[in-house]
Amino acid sequence: MNQKEFLAKLDQPRIVDAIAEAELQTSGEIRVHVQPKAGGDLRTVAERTFERLGMTKTALRTGVLLFIACEEQRFVILGDQHIDESVPAGFWDEIAAKLTVRFKNGEFTDGIVEAIRAAGDHLREFFPRASDDVDELPNDLSIDA
Ligand code: CA
Ligand code: CA
């Protein structure tokens, strides 16, 4: 499936709502990025994207990126420094593994929403939302052609 077909199947407003909902409970800032192919080592490319999207600039270093190479159906979830200190080993891999199953079943939006909720549940526990929280990173999808 090419990216155009993938995006056509995606319910983007539902994903944006899931991010907004998760961020009501936590200072964490979640973003979803989609591009056709990683075009290199998945993690390295995702780390570069994390930087490029300004995700290292949140006040509490609580950015979380779900990076999706949709034509390869490969994903990685990256947390910024303070998040990664808080998550148990294998935490992100487990979420990514569930996402792989969902994608195989063609449940793209459901899988992404589920991953956002799982990340949000963890973030809420470790990084509760402050009363003066601001939306530091946009909730809409980042899409590279
Ligand atoms: Ca926020
Ligand atoms: Ca946000």
User: For residue range 64-116, what is the model confidence (pLDDT) as tens digits?
Assistant: 999 999 999 999 999 998 888 888 888 888 999 999 999 999 999 999 999 99
Q: pTM for the complete prediction?
A: 0.96
Number of neighbouring beta carbons within 10 Å of residue 144: 10
* 8 A C-beta contact, residue 66 and residue 31: yes
The CATH number linked to 54 is: 3.10.310.50
Cα of 60 vs centre of ligand 2, distance in Å, is: 13
Predicted confidence (pLDDT) per residue in 26-75, tens digit: 999 999 999 999 999 999 999 999 999 999 999 999 999 999 999 999 99
Domain range for 18 is: 3-143
Ligand nearest to the CA of 18: 2
Cα of 94 vs centre of ligand 1, distance in Å, is: 24
Structurally, how many domains does the chain consist of?
A: 1
Ligand nearest to the CA of 138: 2
Cα of 1 vs centre of ligand 1, distance in Å, is: 34
